[in-house]
């Protein structure tokens, strides 16, 4: 199975190098995005390994990123998450501790914190986003070396989903998958299929040859993992016909599909880590860390 691919940039046209690292356990793709001229880089959506059967954590995936960064002679400017993930733990804090680079996410993460604060019954949780070094607003501009980066809020999959547009590359998290798989679900707490439709249309309004990089790949038909497409390919080939159908048709399709899906197996595990910016719970008096699992938090469990 191919778990690494480099989409090469162009130093003459502000095209970043995009290194994608696929994690087979969670079907997630992590990215190291670098300016070919200045050798500065950002890390996007890094994974902290977690075995739910053993309750064990590890930094194997994050260490792959650090090894690549060291080998390529890169300097880390940012550690970025596109949203609080429901299917893997974020290793943003671990990478911050190892690189000193600031962490960032979209400002609407505060709304996600408020929502999950109630689900977990954490009355003392700070729901102001202060667990990150920066909260991005829609339209914010920052730089990766000589390459301009722009923030697009892309709600629908979650309240806090954002897209990072870095030169000619856009990191669309779970809003779009590869064309042969379709689009993200919108039934998580705070999700909305109508918002998802409009977020997708904003992404499809980018130039046709914009490289799009997804947050997951589920390998339909047992093909090898893939995570790069273009705006043109998504508009013309996405199986959910996001470039052709109406909002009403898409919402009907998305809601029907979502009603048939089980919740991700790690959603209750992961959100309590990820709304803290990738921090594990503090050790208790015996030196061990514990997750808190609310029972019967969601409706629609399939028992068959």
Q: Is residue 289 part of a domain?
A: no
Q: Where are the alpha helices (DSSP H) in the chain?
A: 60-72, 92-99, 109-119, 193-204, 231-237, 247-259, 267-274
Q: Distance (Å, rounded) from C-alpha 230 to C-alpha 196?
A: 18
Q: How many domains would you assign to the chain?
A: 1
Query: How does 111-136 read in b/e, with b if 16+ C-beta sit within 10 Å?
Result: bbbebbbeebebeebebebebbeebb
- CB proximity list for 54: less than 8 A, separation 6 or greater: none
Name the token pair of 46: 């890094």
d(CA 196, CA 63): 33
Q: Is residue 218 part of a domain?
A: yes
Q: What range defines the domain where residue 90 resides? A: 4-274
Residue 290 lies in a domain: no
Quick check: is 302 in a domain?
Answer: no
- pTM higher than 0.85: yes
Is 282 among the domain residues? Answer: no
Evaluate whether residue 293 is within a structural domain: no
The answer to whether residue 25 sits within a structural domain is yes
Q: What is the CATH number of the domain that holds 85?
A: 3.60.15.10
Residue 147 maps to a domain: yes
Residues 213 and 234: their CA atoms lie apart, in Å, by 11
Per-residue pLDDT of the chain (304 residues; tens, 9 = 90+): 999 999 999 999 999 999 999 999 999 999 999 999 999 999 999 999 999 999 999 999 999 999 999 999 999 999 999 999 999 999 999 999 999 999 999 999 999 999 999 999 999 999 999 999 999 999 999 999 999 999 999 999 999 999 999 999 999 999 999 999 999 999 999 999 999 999 999 999 999 999 999 999 999 999 999 999 999 999 999 999 999 999 999 999 999 999 999 889 999 999 999 999 999 999 999 999 999 999 998 876 767 6
């Amino acid at each position: 199975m191919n778990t690494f691919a480099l989409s090469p940039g162009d130093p003459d046209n502000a095209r970043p190098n995009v290194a994608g690292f696929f994690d087979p356990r969670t079907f997630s793709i992590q990215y190291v995005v670098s300016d070919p001229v200045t050798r500065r880089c950002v890390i996007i959506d890094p994974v902290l390994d977690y075995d739910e059967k053993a309750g064990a954590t590890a930094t194997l995936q994050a260490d792959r990123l650090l090894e690549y960064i060291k080998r390529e002679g890169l300097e880390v400017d940012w550690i970025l998450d596109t949203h609080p993930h429901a299917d893997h733990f974020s290793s943003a804090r671990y990478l911050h501790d190892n690189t000193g680079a600031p962490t960032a996410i979209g400002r609407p993460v505060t709304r996600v914190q408020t929502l999950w604060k109630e689900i977990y019954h954490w009355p003392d949780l700070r729901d102001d986003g202060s667990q990150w070094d920066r909260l991005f607003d829609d339209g914010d501009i920052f730089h990766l070396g000589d390459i301009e980066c722009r923030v697009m809020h892309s709600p629908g999959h979650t309240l806090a989903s954002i897209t990072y547009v870095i030169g000619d590359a856009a990191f669309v998290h779970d809003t779009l998958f590869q064309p042969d798989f379709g689009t993200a679900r919108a039934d998580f707490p705070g999700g909305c299929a109508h918002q998802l439709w409009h977020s997708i249309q904003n992404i499809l309004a980018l130039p046709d040859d914009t490289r799009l990089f997804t947050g997951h790949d589920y390998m339909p038909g047992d093909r090898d993992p893939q995570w790069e497409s273009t705006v043109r390919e998504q508009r013309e080939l996405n199986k959910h016909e996001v470039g052709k159908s109406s909002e009403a048709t898409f919402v009907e399709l998305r809601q029907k599909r979502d009603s048939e899906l089980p919740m991700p197996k790690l959603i209750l595990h992961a959100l309590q880590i990820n709304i803290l910016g990738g921090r594990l719970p503090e050790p208790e008096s015996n030196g061990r860390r514990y997750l808190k699992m609310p029972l019967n938090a969601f409706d629609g469990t399939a028992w068959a």
